[in-house]
Amino acid sequence: MPDTALNSEPRIEAATLDDLPQLTDLVMALLAQEEDFAPDREKQKHGIKLILEQPNRGRIFVLRNDHFLIGMVNLLFTISTAEGGFVILMEDVIVHPAHRGQGYGTRLLQYAIQYAQEKQFKRITILTDQISAESQRFFQRNGFQHSHMIPMRLVFTGEK
């Protein structure tokens, strides 16, 4: 990373297709740390592109300075019958390893929460790594609570 990457004040804004390579790098780094996922650059790139090309599916917000993408948060939109309205599934809250511990993750998360409130979403749900007490504490410090629900999934591999 060039030294000039540290010279401009970081700002949060909507991601664009021009950000796709850096977004893919961030998601790859995140998935490499998680037991449930095997990173696959083409899959991650395709998933990010689907969101960026269809804003009704969700938003990806990035924290950047003039030279470098520092972090991202991915908000996916759906409807909850329990809540009677639109809700968010938040995924991929990531800060580049060189910039962790500086409050950037909290800044991204608070931006996402404010966005959800302004747009009148009913709830934000996030899945965090069960074995990462640090991640759980981070979200709890920002108002998230454990749910009595447990995640279960059925993954389709494309094979019949």
User: What is the distance in angstroms between the CA of the first residue and the CA of the last residue of the chain?
Assistant: 44
This prediction has a pTM of 0.87
Residue 1 has pLDDT above 50, yes or no: no
Averaged pLDDT of the chain: 89
String of b and e for 15-26 (b: at least 16 CB within 10 Å)? beeebbebbbbb
At 3, the pLDDT band (50, 70, 90 cuts) reads very low
Asked whether the beta carbons of 61 and 69 are under 8 A apart, the reply is no
As a whole number of angstroms, the distance between CA 100 and CA 102 comes to 6
User: The tokens of 2 are what?
Assistant: 């060039």
CATH dotted code for 3-141 = 3.40.630.30
* Region of poorest pLDDT, from 15-29, 62-76, 134-148: 134-148
Q: How confident is the model at residue 5 (pLDDT cuts 50, 70, 90)?
A: very low
Check whether 106 has a pLDDT greater than 50.
yes
Residue type at 17?
L
**Mean per-residue pLDDT for 35-61?**
93
- Predicted local distance difference test score (pLDDT) of residue 110: 96
Could you give the CA distance from residue 53 to residue 46 in angstroms, rounded to a whole number? 10
Q: How many helices (H) and strands (E) does the chain have?
A: 4, 5
